[in-house]
């Protein structure tokens, strides 16, 4: 199952989480410990793929890049278990890998057997790049991130903090939920989940969040989730709603709504009083959003399929109190949850995304009322997609000024320029960026 999922991730550009959920749902008889093992193998192999591929290349005489995808993933899953797990004996890992290969690609079974057994004999002889001689190469291999990405991170953070960032991305992230305050309270939900065998603690930053662990079942299978009392959502993601900080009765635009996690949070903050227009370019996303809003008992949202790059019609000009742009981005702040992104991302992606982000921001500006707030957010860490987009916009629009986030945001998450920033290695959350822009009443020249 793990190999099949990894093959689809690589060949189809799919994401591991929905594939894993679908596979496990299709095999309800699978024991809990085996469900956990499958999950660990899939995510562990994706997280540590850089190091695993280095080991394979050290042991394989042929061209690794030309190897059959299934064979390479069988080797990766086998090596991951040999390197990072203790539950299964080495001989059993090798035998299972060989048997899987016979089913998928019989002629490759000898190669898989030879490489894995060779690793068991020579694992202490594998040489890794030395950090003193080549820090970027060392971090790239040992902490399993693409070399171009590590070099970029070193420019941003330096060697020591880049190491910490990459290590954090390879840790299993906590399951974090947002309590739907339209239906319940955080204290009541904490007690409910605790009674169902979960270890529960409050999130460090979001006043609506809970961290759930030691679970015997998926949190999505609980009555709390089914009945809409909780929404799975990272601590930092929950804070985007607090950046927007809408008031009951206001009119809000969510311009890149996606599946609506943030949309629903805005409605909860507004106590289901006012109106929200949620727009997304994907019908699939809009359908999922509508279904989720119904589960959460959100009643103030109208959905619309549309392109955020299009200019608003006259009826929408300066008609919203607040506008949220949760912009499409490279997603480099979510690598601990979506490790497959590491191996798909390209050096030019941030610049490509910034072109789209600038176009969306440009066309969003007319929607906002004078005196209103426009909130720009991403789940990435690159300057090209974050502060450079904001600086480009404010330089061309003197009637917009960047202001500090509301006091609902912890000061440790606000930098000297007034930007909201979170990082996995500093805050234990996904990496997010946010900027709050206020549209001046008078417009025209700035009087800073």
Specify the CATH number for the domain of residue 222. 3.30.70.1170
In this predicted structure, what is the pLDDT of residue 445?
47
Per the structure, the count of domains in the chain is 4
Count of helix runs (H) and strand runs (E) in the chain: 19, 12
Q: Average pLDDT for residues 410-425, to the nearest whole number?
A: 96
3-state helix vs strand vs coil in the chain, percent to 5: 50, 15, 35
Per-residue confidence band for 185, with pLDDT thresholds at 50, 70 and 90: very high
Contact 262, 237 (CB under 8 A): yes
Conformational region of residue 348, where left means phi above 0, alpha means psi within -120 to 50, and beta covers everything else: alpha
Contact 350, 385 (CB under 8 A): yes
In this predicted structure, what is the pLDDT of residue 442?
66
Encode burial over 374-399: b for 16+ CB neighbours within 10 A, e otherwise. Answer: bbbbbbbbbbbbbbbbbeebbeebeb
Same domain for 152 and 253, yes or no, is no
- Decide if 277 is inside a domain: yes
- Decide if 444 is inside a domain: no
In this predicted structure, what is the pLDDT of residue 130?
95
Res. 444: pLDDT tops 70:
no
Same domain for 348 and 221, yes or no, is no
Q: Average pLDDT for residues 7-18, to the nearest whole number?
A: 94
Same domain for 278 and 426, yes or no, is yes
Please identify every residue annotated as catalytic: 379
Res. 443: pLDDT tops 80:
no
CA distance 127 to 395: 50
In this predicted structure, what is the pLDDT of residue 105?
81
Same domain for 256 and 310, yes or no, is yes
Same domain for 323 and 181, yes or no, is no
In this predicted structure, what is the pLDDT of residue 448?
38
Same domain for 305 and 430, yes or no, is yes
4 vs 87, more confident: 4
In this predicted structure, what is the pLDDT of residue 425?
97
Same domain for 389 and 296, yes or no, is yes
Contact 51, 139 (CB under 8 A): no
Same domain for 226 and 257, yes or no, is no
Range of the domain at 153: 135-169
CA distance 176 to 203: 8
CB atoms within 10 A of CB 310: 12
Same domain for 324 and 184, yes or no, is no
Q: Average pLDDT for residues 165-179, to the nearest whole number?
A: 96
- Decide if 10 is inside a domain: yes
Contact 225, 219 (CB under 8 A): yes
Give the CA radius of gyration of the chain: 24
Question: Which of 144, 169, 194 is a domain's end point?
Answer: 169
Same domain for 36 and 117, yes or no, is yes
Handedness of CA 436, 442, 446, 448 (dihedral sign): negative
Same domain for 157 and 73, yes or no, is no
Under DSSP, is residue 400 helix (H, G, I), strand (E, B) or coil?
strand
Residue 12 maps to which CATH number? 1.10.940.10
- Decide if 447 is inside a domain: no
Same domain for 206 and 328, yes or no, is no
Query: pLDDT tens-digit profile of 359-370?
Result: 999 999 999 999
């Amino acid at each position: 199952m793990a190999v099949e999922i990894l093959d689809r991730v690589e060949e189809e550009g799919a994401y591991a989480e929905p594939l894993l959920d679908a596979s496990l749902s299709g095999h309800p008889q699978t024991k809990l410990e085996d469900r956990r093992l499958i999950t660990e193998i899939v995510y562990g192999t994706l997280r540590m793929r850089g190091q695993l591929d280095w080991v394979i290349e050290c042991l394989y005489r042929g061209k690794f890049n030309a190897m059959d995808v299934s064979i390479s993933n069988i080797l990766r899953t086998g090596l991951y278990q040999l390197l990072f797990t203790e539950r299964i004996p080495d001989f059993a890992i090798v035998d299972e890998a060989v048997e899987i290969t016979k089913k998928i690609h019989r002629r490759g079974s000898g190669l898989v057997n030879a490489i894995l057994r060779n690793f068991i004999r020579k694992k202490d002889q594998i040489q890794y790049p030395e950090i003193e001689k080549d820090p970027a190469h060392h971090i790239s291999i040992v902490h399993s991130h693409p070399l171009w990405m590590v070099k970029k991170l070193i420019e941003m953070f330096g060697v020591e903090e880049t190491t910490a960032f990459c290590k954090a991305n390879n840790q299993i992230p906590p399951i974090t939920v947002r309590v739907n305050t339209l239906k319940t309270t955080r204290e009541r939900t904490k007690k409910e989940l605790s009674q169902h065998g979960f270890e529960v603690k409050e999130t460090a930053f979001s006043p609506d969040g809970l961290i759930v662990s030691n679970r015997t079942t998926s949190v999505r299978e609980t009555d709390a989730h089914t009945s809409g009392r909780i929404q799975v959502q990272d601590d930092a993601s929950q804070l985007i709603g607090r950046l927007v900080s809408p008031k009951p009765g206001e009119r809000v635009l969510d311009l890149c709504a996606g599946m609506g996690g943030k949309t629903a949070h805005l409605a909860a903050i507004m106590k289901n009083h006012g109106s929200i227009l949620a727009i997304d370019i994907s019908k699939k996303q809009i359908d999922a959003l509508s279904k989720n809003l119904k589960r959460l008992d959100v009643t103030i949202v109208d959905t619309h399929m549309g392109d955020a790059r299009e200019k608003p019609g006259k009826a929408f000009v300066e008609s919203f109190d607040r506008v949220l742009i949760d912009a499409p981005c490279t997603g480099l702040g979510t690598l601990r949850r979506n490790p497959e992104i590491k191996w798909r991302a390209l050096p030019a992606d941030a610049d490509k995304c910034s072109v789209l982000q600038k176009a969306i921001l440009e066309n969003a500006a007319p929607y906002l009322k004078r005196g209103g707030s426009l909130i720009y957010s991403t789940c990435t860490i690159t300057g090209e997609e974050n502060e450079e987009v904001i600086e480009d916009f404010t330089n061309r629009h003197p009637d917009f000024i960047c202001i500090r986030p509301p006091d609902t945001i912890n000061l440790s998450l606000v930098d000297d320029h007034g930007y909201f920033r979170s990082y996995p290695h500093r805050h234990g959350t996904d990496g997010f960026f946010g900027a709050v822009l206020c549209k001046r009443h008078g417009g025209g020249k700035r009087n800073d």
